[in-house]
Amino acid sequence: MKPLIKALTSTALLLTCFTAASAFAETSLWKVSKNNDYVYLGGTVHILPASQFPLPKEFELAYNDSTSLVLEANMPDPMDQAAQIAMVQKLAYKNGKKLSDVISPETFTKLKQYFSPFGINIDQYNGFKPGMIVTLMVTMEAQKANLAGEGVDAYFAQRAKKDARAMEYLESVDFQLNLFSNMGAGNEDAFIKISLSQMHEFEAIFRKILPAWRSGDIKTLNELVVEPIISEDPKSYQSMFVNRNNNWLPKIEAMFNDKDREFVLVGAGHLVGKDSVINLLKAKGYKVVKL
C-alpha cells in the first residue's frame, strides 16, 4: 500500500478539488487585492499525473511573484514512519470496535467484492474507520488508471523548500486527520455505499476534471462533483468546505497586513459556489480578478 500520507492527500481530491471558476478563464488562479497589496489564490488538484506538467503558466508566474507559499497543512514526509503510525492510529477504531459493526452485512460483502480484484482482503481493514477505507479505494483506482502522482501542492512545496522560501499553513495536520477520522461518522453505511457507487466512474470523471481544472471550466466541474456532494452528503460538505472556508477567511485577510506577498494554494473546490473563499472575500470588499 502507498504511504498513508500520500493516500490521504489523494482522497482529498474527491472532496476538495473538483471545482474551478469562470468557463472563459484560462486556469484556476485568482489575484485578490486590497489597496496596493495583493495575494494570489490558486485552486489545486491533489493528484496530478506527470502528463499534466508543466503547469499552467499563471501558476508559475504567481510563484515567481510571491515571497511566501501558503498551503492547507504541513503534511509530514511520506517516509516518516512515526507519522505514518500516528495517522493509522487516528483512523482506527478503538476498544475492539469494527467497521462491520456500523455497516450492514450487505455493504460489507460489497466491500469484499470491490477489493477482491485488487488482491486486498477487506477483513484486514475491518478495524478501520470509513475514512481509511475510502482512502484505500481512491489510491487503488488512481493506480489502476495510471493517474497517480504528486499534485500541485506537493510540487510547489518542493520548490519552496529548494528555494528556501517562507512557508505557512492554514491548518494543522491533526485538524486534517480529524476530518478524515470523522468522515461518515453516524452515517457509515450510506457513506460507504455512496463511495462504492462512485468508484466505477473514478477514471472517467477524473479525466474530465483535469482539463476543466486547467481551463477553469466551472460548469463542467460543478455538474460532475460539487452538486452531488451537496445533495448526497451535506454533512461532509459542511465540515469539509463551509466550515473550513470560514476558518480560513481571517487568516487570508491577515496576509494583507504583513510585508510578504503570499501565494495561497488550496483544493479548488474551496474557491467556487455560494460558500467559497472567493465569495467570502468579495463580500468583504476585496477586489478579486481571475487570471
For residue 33, which amino acid is it?
Answer: S
CA angle 269, 151, 261 (to 5 degrees): 75
- Per DSSP bridges, beta strands 29-34 and 37-44 are antiparallel
pLDDT one digit per residue (tens) for the chain, 291 residues: 334 444 444 444 444 443 333 333 468 899 999 998 999 999 988 888 888 889 999 999 999 999 999 999 987 776 778 877 888 888 999 999 999 999 999 999 999 999 999 999 999 999 999 999 998 999 899 999 988 888 899 999 999 999 999 999 999 989 988 988 998 889 899 999 989 988 988 899 888 888 888 888 777 777 776 777 788 788 888 888 999 999 999 999 999 988 899 999 998 888 888 889 999 999 999 999 988
Q: How far is CA 165 from CA 78, 86, 161, 240, in A?
A: 21, 28, 6, 28
pTM of the model: 0.86
- Per DSSP bridges, beta strands 166-169 and 68-71 are parallel
